[in-house]
């Protein structure tokens, strides 16, 4: 039933990905992650899981039912239970996990941070976004002037200030380059902003003393499109040069969106220059490269959305699994004609069993994809960070993987939650169980931070075509090497063969689409989502087989954990048999695809 105990984490699988199947385990405890060795990381995650499963999960249902309130001055009030969860988080100083040692933090590697984020948003999806201020402080620390860093960074950290990213406008939507918000230079790095923004996640809330918005706006005289946008630091209350708080700034919430889910997350309409009060902001770093600066925020948000999707699908599956083991209904199918046969737990019914294994294989595969991507980010950080020459190949690989994490996990996660509800039958449609809220909270994931098709276009045009497919070739080459090296031996021979066939189909897809794109870009528009799905499912199949090979080795060393390892091997075999053959269908559909639908008159729809 829905309660404080709704969240079911899979800490065991998180630990497996981090410490048994990891490709970056040797980086823990070494610069730049010297403050977090493997033992520390384990302890951190074990302790954090307890907080997430109790005090953070406690506000999951209550905050959804109570919702938010907005007063006439544009101030949003949170439910008391949600503020109690926030207080518990900050009292335990978990906000320091992601911060650098120079800022008093642990300097944890991305893999540990994303693992902890899975626990957080799996326990309460709305909650996680109220912690965005810490990441905003990192952006200002990285891109701001010395004066801006002095004014904001430590204030945000110590004051637990909120933060938001402010891009979308009512008329522009996902077309960020069509933004109309204007900026007029006042003096130094101070500008005055005017405009309306929409869908601003947690644009206001009453827990912190201040909120810092990162706002895209167009300076007077700047060119049209994304290249003319600049990024501005816009606090709710003005921050003086000495760091002290001043008067109310002119960034006001005009409304809270009435959404189908995430009712505890304040999705706001924000007016810049409202109530007759000028909206002042500081030009980030005093350089006009707003879209490039904001992309650091966007990419972080896209990873967060993908991990959230996977995390909620995971607890959805584990809740459905627990229900299936307890709920008795009907006789065994082999005894269906025996009127005296005992009712059995529904996990014994073939279709329920199929649905459970489908969820398990996909969820564990998506976690493997997310953690592999996080470990690529570990390598980027260990080699000097984004923009450094040594990290460039891994930086490009991370760029290639992000559309898969965001686009695939959000699409598949929502689909898996519907399957989890099906396991419950009619009971799952009621608020007695958390699955109905999981579904409502998860649907947004396919829409915000770039819809699935935007992720597909980003993958094809920016991540593949931009470097003439070189990063893709490296990525697929790694999968070829795995197959050629016969990783997993004879025990995974059938699965590797399925992966090899799917990989051949995938390479054909890209070859076919390059030719079709030259004929008309409409082909990419019509087939882009299938391309993303195909690349993601092959990549996931590879990571699952990597993990299954590890499980084959580990099961003999750890007989007490035999069920876990056998479960990973079984999920991989199921995935290879049930999912990987679909790549051939994608290839046929893409290869035979026409532009007929584009030639129809609008009236026929």
Largest CA distance in the chain: 86
In the three-class reduction of DSSP (H, G, I as helix; E, B as strand; rest coil), residue 181 is classed as: coil
Instruction: Give the Cβ contact number of residue 31 at 10 Å.
Output: 9
Q: Are 14 and 367 in contact (CB under 8 A)?
A: yes
Question: What residues are annotated to the active site?
Answer: 449
Q: How far apart are CA 239 and CA 209, in angstroms?
A: 11
- Report the relative pairing of strands 190-201 and 182-187 from DSSP bridges: antiparallel
**Cα–Cα nearest to 406, from 541, 537, 307:** 307
Cα 587 from Cα 128, distance rounded (Å): 38
Residue 600 has phi, psi (to 5 degrees) of -75, 145
Q: How far apart are CA 543 and CA 564, in angstroms?
A: 17
Q: What is the DSSP string of 346-370?
A: GGGSHHHHHHHHHHHHHHHHHHHHH
Three-class secondary structure of residue 605 per DSSP: coil
Task: Report the distance separating Cα 588 and Cα 147, nearest Å.
Answer: 58
State the alpha helices, DSSP H only, in 327-469: 350-382, 392-403, 409-424, 435-442, 452-457
CA atoms within 13 A on the CB side of 360: 21
Helices (H) and strands (E) in the chain, counts: 19, 12
List b or e across 127-165, with b for residues whose CB sees 16 or more CB atoms inside 10 angstroms: bbbbbbbbbbbbbbbebbbeebbebbbebbbeebbbbbb
Backbone dihedral angles phi then psi of residue 254, each to the nearest 5 degrees: -100, -15
């Amino acid at each position: 039933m829905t309660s404080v105990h709704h969240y079911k984490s899979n800490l065991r699988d998180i630990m497996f990905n981090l410490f048994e199947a990891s490709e970056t385990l040797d980086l823990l405890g070494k610069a730049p992650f010297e403050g977090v060795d493997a033992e520390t990381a384990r302890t951190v995650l074990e302790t954090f899981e307890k907080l997430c499963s109790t005090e953070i999960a406690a506000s999951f249902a209550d905050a959804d039912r109570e919702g938010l309130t907005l007063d006439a001055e544009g101030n949003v009030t949170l439910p008391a239970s949600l503020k109690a969860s926030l207080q518990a988080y900050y009292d335990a100083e978990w906000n320091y996990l992601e911060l650098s040692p120079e800022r008093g933090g642990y300097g944890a590697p991305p893999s540990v941070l994303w693992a902890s984020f899975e626990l957080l948003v799996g326990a309460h999806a709305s909650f996680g976004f109220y912690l965005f201020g810490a990441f905003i402080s990192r952006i200002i620390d990285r891109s701001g002037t010395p004066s801006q860093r002095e004014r904001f960074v430590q204030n945000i950290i110590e004051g637990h200030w909120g933060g938001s990213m402010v891009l979308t406008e009512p008329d522009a939507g996902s077309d960020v380059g069509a933004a109309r918000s204007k900026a007029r230079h006042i003096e130094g790095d101070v500008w005055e902003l005017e405009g309306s923004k929409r869908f601003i996640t947690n644009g206001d809330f009453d827990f912190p003393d201040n909120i810092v918005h990162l706002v895209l706006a167009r300076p007077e005289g700047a060119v049209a499109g994304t290249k003319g946008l600049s990024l501005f630091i816009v606090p709710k209350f003005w921050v003086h040069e000495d760091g002290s708080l001043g008067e109310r700034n002119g960034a006001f919430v005009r409304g809270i969106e009435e959404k189908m889910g995430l009712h505890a997350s304040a999705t706001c309409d924000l007016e810049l220059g409202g109530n007759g009060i000028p909206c002042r902001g500081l030009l980030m770093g005093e350089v006009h490269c707003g879209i490039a600066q904001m992309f650091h925020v966007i990419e972080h948000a896209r990873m967060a959305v993908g991990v959230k999707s996977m995390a909620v699908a995971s607890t959805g599956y584990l809740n459905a699994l627990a229900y299936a083991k307890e709920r008795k209904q009907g006789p065994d199918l082999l005894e269906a004609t025996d009127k005296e046969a005992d009712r059995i737990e529904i996990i014994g019914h073939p279709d329920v069993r199929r649905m459970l294994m489908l969820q398990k294989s996909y969820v564990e595969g998506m976690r493997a994809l997310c953690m592999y991507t996080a470990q690529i980010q570990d390598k980027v950080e260990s080699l000097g960070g984004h923009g450094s020459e040594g990290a460039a190949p891994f930086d490009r690989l991370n760029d290639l993987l992000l559309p898969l994490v965001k686009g695939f996990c959000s699409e598949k996660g929502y689909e898996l939650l519907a399957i989890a509800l099906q396991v419950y039958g009619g009971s799952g449609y009621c608020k007695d169980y958390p699955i109905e809220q999981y579904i409502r909270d998860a649907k947004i994931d396919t829409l915000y931070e770039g819809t699935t098709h935007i992720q597909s276009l980003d993958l094809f045009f920016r991540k593949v075509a931009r470097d003439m497919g070189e990063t893709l070739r490296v990525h697929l080459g790694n999968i070829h090497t795995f197959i050629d090296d016969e990783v997993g031996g004879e025990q995974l021979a059938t699965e590797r063969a399925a992966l090899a066939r799917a990989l051949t189909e995938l390479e054909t897809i890209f070859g076919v689409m390059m030719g079709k794109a030259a004929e008309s870009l409409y082909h990419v528009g019509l087939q882009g989502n299938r391309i993303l799905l195909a690349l993601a499912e092959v990549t996931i199949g590879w990571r699952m087989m990597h993990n299954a090979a590890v499980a084959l080795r580990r099961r003999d060393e750890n007989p007490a954990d035999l069920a876990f390892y056998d479960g990973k091997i079984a999920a991989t075999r199921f995935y290879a048999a049930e999912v990987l053959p679909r790549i051939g269908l994608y290839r046929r559909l893409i290869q035979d695809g026409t532009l007929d639908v584009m030639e129809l008159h609008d009236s026929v729809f």
